[in-house]
Amino acid sequence: MFCDLHMHSTASDGTVTPDELPAMAKAAGLSAIALTDHDTTAGLPACQAACETLGIAFVPGIELSVDPGVRPGEEHDAPRRGTLHILGLFIRHDDPGLKQIEHRMREARDSRNPAIVAKLQELGVSIDYREVLDLAKEQGTEIIGRPHIAQVLIRKGYVKSVQDAFTRYIAQGKPAYVRRDRLPATEAIDAIHQAGGLAVFAHPVQLGLTDPDELEYFTARLRDLGLDAVEVLHSDHLPALVRQYTQMAQKLGLLTSGGSDYHGSRKPVDLGSQRVPFAMYEQLFQARRRT
């Protein structure tokens, strides 16, 4: 039996609606799924209802973008670090603290996205922010991110693919990149716990700490802040990394998780492709907070 504990819907930057994901999961032979949209719980009720109809276990989740410094004040002292995402699994979707964070993150996005578009215009790309808003509206999302801007660039013929848009324009370090405010790790982990969830260090490879000792030190600091688990199985993790992260989790006394990080047609990754053992879901389910 298998599960997939990391995926996105049209509520953020996936291309499949929350109510269609469970049927796809069932067809892929999955017995449990978590919906983990970026900074929003908007898709959870519809996904849960469809899971109940189909008899698949549902894990309400969220994926928060976190500042890669782990202590307040340390946030910008981390030039070599890349992306830090924390998944909340088994969260209450209507938790007021989490709602407040969603609101803050949306504001951060809404001030950053027009800045990206302005930079693109400076680079000679003829794009209007209105076009991005229209696309988001078409897809029914309120969480607008770089993948949506990328799609507008594809439509207008400036780039061939989402990947192309990132590597030429909007990835970190590229000419139209704009940083957005992110949550301190403490706040993300506390909010997830307050909402009854488990905090999971998502796709550690994306942090960019290639030295295993440095990554272990960093993860131990996250554990000090309350981290519950490490996502060991992920589409970006080669087998050697899966082994490294599994050993690290064991050593630090953390649980393990896994998922495909499915984004629909936006990324060349299939739902359920990580073949995550159902036992991983069961262990997390046992550990979840019952409040």
Per CB under 6 A, residues contacting ligand AMP are 13, 38, 145-147, 162-163, 166, 171, 263
Site for Fe ion in 1-20 (CB under 5 A): 13
Contacts of residue 227, defined as CB under 8 A and 6 or more positions apart, other chains included, come to 86, 189, 199, 200, 201, 219, 254
Site membership for Fe ion, residue 182 (CB under 5 A) = no
Instruction: Return the number of the residue (12 or 216) whose C-beta is nearest ligand AMP.
Output: 12
Site membership for Zn ion, residue 261 (CB under 5 A) = yes
How many Å apart are CA 116 and CA 255, to the nearest integer? 38
For the chain, the distance separating the N- and C-terminal CA atoms, rounded to the nearest angstrom, is: 28
CB of 236 to Fe ion, least distance (A): 9
DSSP string covering 203-264, please? -GGGG---SHHHHHHHHHHHHHTT--EEEEE-TT--HHHHHHHHHHHHHHT-EEEE---BBT
When CB distances are held under 5 to 8 angstroms depending on the partner's kind, the choice from Zn ion, Fe ion, ligand AMP, none that residue 44 binds is none
CB of 276 to ligand AMP, least distance (A): 19
Measure CA 253 to chain center: 23
CB of 146 to Fe ion, least distance (A): 9
CB of 55 to Fe ion, least distance (A): 28
When CB distances are held under 5 to 8 angstroms depending on the partner's kind, the choice from Zn ion, ligand AMP, Fe ion, none that residue 223 binds is none
- Contact characters 66-105, Fe ion, x per CB under 5 A: -------------------x--------------------
Distances (CA, A) of 246 to 101, 103, 209: 30, 34, 16
Instruction: Return the number of the residue (11 or 120) whose C-beta is nearest Zn ion.
Output: 11
Instruction: Return the number of the residue (26 or 260) whose C-beta is nearest Fe ion.
Output: 260
Q: Which residues of 9-22 are buried (b: 16+ CB within 10 A; e: fewer)?
A: bbbbbbbbbbbebb
CB of 22 to ligand AMP, least distance (A): 21
Contacts of residue 238, defined as CB under 8 A and 6 or more positions apart, other chains included, come to none
Binding site for Zn ion (CB under 5 A): 63, 261
